[in-house]
């Protein structure tokens, strides 16, 4: 649905549905040469926090692994990982590291966990699902390079061409380009019709460029990092803590924990979709504000994060799609939003 927008997009205007389906095909084509059908696996670094985008990635990964009939024997967040679970798995089991935007040194807890897994299991096939790469420190890059290059069977998937160029210049491991795994979810129905003209999804973390500092008035501003406490989250945290303390005794509780993790991720994704769909237009400097708007067919305006992640991703995959517009600053985004609203039916 195009909502009757009269503004001429400066691209070829590929429909959002066409784009999403084409990127699903790219994911399938890329992974069929990487993931053996019917594999055993562990999926590590579950996003046990409120960021909606990482939950969308997780659910896309679970869908893809299910499509490949991969039997996921173990799931863990980075801070509740139990080495013995992986040690007890068959040697042919693959270790998957979840995708996102934390490969580098901006988010050290995830990078440290990644390097720990790669160093600890040199005898396992390890696949890093699609990431963006950014290092500020040459020292941190050197350490990562030593860890990555020392592993005999590590495959690195990246989600933009700049990251691919970086990976192939810096690391010896096999590096491949693959879209963000949230696209594996396919088109998403909007939860409800918009109730306001514009919603503004703005970063408030270390990746923010401060586009929206001082914004006030009738436009709702949100960073989807705050979430209400819910029972599923409390139960899954309690259960995972018990599995860490008693890994052998409570091993049968792993499957219920996996179900709870997936349910928590679904609730976070639903929360994000409700927020985005409440506006006729979305303005955002979050990558998954862009991606989920595409999946729901919502016109949106993108601004970049602190190191060019969104621009790099758009230039690689989505710049020629209808519903997607670009602004260099907040004032430009608001003016463009006004133009879009003037053509909204």
Domains of the chain: 20-185 (3.40.50)
Q: Which residues of 145-176 are buried (b: 16+ CB within 10 A; e: fewer)?
A: eebbeebeebbbbbbbebbbebbeebbebebb
Alpha carbon separation from 307 to 304, 312, 333 (Å, rounded) = 8, 9, 19
Cβ-Cβ contacts under 8 Å for 217 (sequence gap 6 or more):
none
Rounded to whole angstroms, how far apart are CA atoms 317 and 315? Answer: 6
| pLDDT (0 to 100) of residue 4 | 30
Q: What pLDDT was estimated at residue 219? A: 65
- Mapping DSSP onto H, E and C, the string for 57-69 reads HHHHHHHHHHHCC
194 DSSP 8-state letter: -
Low-confidence ranges of the chain (pLDDT < 50): 1-12
The pLDDT of residue 189 is 95
Give 30: exposed, middle or buried? Use CB within 10 Å, 0-12, 13-18, 19+: middle
DSSP character at residue 261: H
Instruction: State residue 8's pLDDT score.
Output: 32
CA count, 13 A, side-chain hemisphere, 161: 7
- Of the candidates 30, 32, 42, 92, the one whose C-alpha atom is nearest the C-alpha of residue 67 is 32
Contact 265, 247 (CB under 8 A): no
d(CA 58, CA 338): 35
Residue 216 has a pLDDT of 59
> For residues 326 and 314, is the Cβ–Cβ distance under 8 A?
yes
Output Rg (C-alpha) for the chain, integer angstroms: 20
3-class state of residue 221 by DSSP: strand
In tens, the pLDDT along 128-142 reads: 999 999 999 999 999
* Cα–Cα nearest to 155, from 262, 70, 40, 35: 35
Query: Which element (helix H / strand E) includes 275?
Result: helix 254-277
């Amino acid at each position: 649905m195009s909502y009757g927008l009269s503004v001429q997009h400066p691209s070829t205007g590929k429909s959002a549905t066409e784009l999403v389906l084409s990127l699903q095909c790219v994911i399938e084509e890329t992974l069929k040469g990487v993931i053996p059908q019917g594999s055993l696996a562990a999926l590590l670094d579950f996003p046990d926090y409120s960021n909606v985008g990482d939950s969308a990635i997780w659910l896309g990964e679970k869908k893809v692994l299910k499509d490949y009939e991969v039997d996921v024997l173990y799931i863990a967040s980075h801070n509740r990982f139990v080495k013995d679970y992986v040690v007890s798995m068959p040697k042919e089991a693959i270790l998957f590291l979840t995708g996102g935007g934390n490969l580098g040194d901006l988010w050290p807890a995830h990078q440290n966990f990644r390097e720990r897994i790669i160093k600890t299991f040199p005898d396992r096939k390890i696949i890093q699902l699609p990431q963006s790469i950014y290092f500020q420190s040459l020292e941190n890059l050197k350490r990562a390079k030593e860890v990555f290059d020392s592993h005999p069977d590590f495959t690195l998937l990246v989600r933009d061409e700049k990251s691919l160029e970086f990976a192939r210049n810096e690391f010896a491991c096999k590096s491949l380009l693959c879209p963000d795994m949230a696209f594996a979810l396919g088109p998403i129905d909007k939860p409800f019709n918009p109730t306001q003209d514009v919603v503004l999804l703005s970063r408030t973390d270390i990746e923010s460029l401060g586009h929206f500092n001082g914004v006030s008035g009738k436009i709702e501003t949100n960073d989807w990092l705050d979430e209400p406490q819910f029972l599923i989250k409390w139960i899954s945290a309690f259960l995972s803590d018990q599995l860490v303390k008693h890994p052998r005794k409570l091993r049968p509780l792993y499957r219920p924990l996996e179900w709870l993790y997936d349910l928590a991720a679904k609730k976070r994704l639903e929360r994000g979709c409700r927020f985005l769909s409440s506006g006729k237009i979305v303005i955002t400097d979050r990558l998954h504000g862009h991606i989920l708007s595409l999946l729901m067919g919502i016109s949106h305006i993108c601004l970049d994060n602190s190191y060019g992640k969104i621009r790099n991703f758009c230039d690689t995959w989505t710049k020629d799609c209808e519903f997607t517009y670009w602004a260099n600053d907040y004032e430009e985004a608001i003016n463009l939003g006004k133009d879009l609203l003037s053509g909204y039916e």
